[in-house]
């Protein structure tokens, strides 16, 4: 099987995330994409993040009916224990322990994050463990990436859904409708729990 991990804080999950997953699944014939919900990403430890349980609930709502997509709870145990940073290399290694030898693992990442990969924990080991599907973003050319990371990297052309979680949180703060940006079930959940206000 071709399996991909799509990690993020998903705060909240939105149509842009889903568009990226669909495009990657089609382009690389992926059998399964696990949306890996991060508890405490190293680069966001100083920033306020919506509680894990709410982000997980929204993620599960957004993925209802998506046969190839699933919400991974691999970080849930860590979310319930002490709030330490989650590192992608550790998550990848835990996933690979449950895979069979013929399975192939991919890691979906935005170009902006990929260009910072050399600052991640054990980047060379991460590239050795899986192949990367890098989603291009405006203003980030692939040639800017560290040449040492070439080889196991696939470029997915920009997906035409220009949405960010930051924009959505700002829209909520200003009382704007959400249905164009997030699935209806997610919009309802946000309103019901009065998130991002």
Rounded to an integer, the average pLDDT of 141-150 is: 57
Q: Which domains does the chain have, with CATH numbers?
A: 2-193 (3.40.50.620)
The helix (H) or strand (E) run that includes residue 49 is none
- Please check whether residue 136 is in contact with residue 162, taking contact to mean a CB–CB distance below 8 angstroms: no
Per residue in 45-92, pLDDT (tens digit) is 556 889 999 999 999 999 999 999 999 988 876 555 555 677 899 999
pLDDT number for residue 136? 82
Instruction: Determine phi and psi for 127, rounding to 5 degrees.
Output: -70, -25
H-helix segments, 29-117: 52-62, 76-80, 88-97, 111-114
pLDDT confidence of 174, banded at 50, 70, 90?
A: confident
> Nearest CA to 37 among 66, 11, 69?
11
Structure tokens at 162: 């220009």
């Amino acid at each position: 099987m071709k399996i991909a991990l799509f990690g993020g804080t998903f705060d909240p999950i939105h149509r842009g995330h889903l568009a990226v997953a669909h495009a990657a699944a089609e382009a690389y014939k992926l059998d399964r994409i696990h949306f890996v919900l991060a508890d405490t990403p190293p680069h966001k430890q100083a920033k306020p993040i919506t509680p894990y349980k709410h982000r997980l609930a929204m993620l599960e709502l957004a993925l209802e009916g998506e046969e190839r997509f699933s919400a991974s709870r691999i970080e849930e145990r860590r979310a319930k224990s002490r709030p330490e940073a989650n590192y992608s290399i550790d998550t990848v290694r835990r996933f690979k322990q449950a895979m069979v030898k013929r399975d192939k693992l991919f890691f979906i990442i935005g170009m902006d994050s990929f260009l910072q990969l050399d600052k991640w924990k054990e980047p060379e080991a991460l590239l050795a463990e899986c192949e990367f599907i890098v989603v291009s973003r405006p203003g980030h050319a692939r040639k800017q990436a560290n040449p040492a990371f070439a080889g196991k990297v696939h470029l997915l052309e920009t997906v035409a859904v220009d949405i960010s979680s930051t924009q959505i949180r700002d829209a909520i703060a200003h009382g704007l409708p959400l249905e164009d940006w997030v699935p209806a079930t997610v919009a309802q959940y946000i309103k019901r729990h009065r998130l991002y206000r």
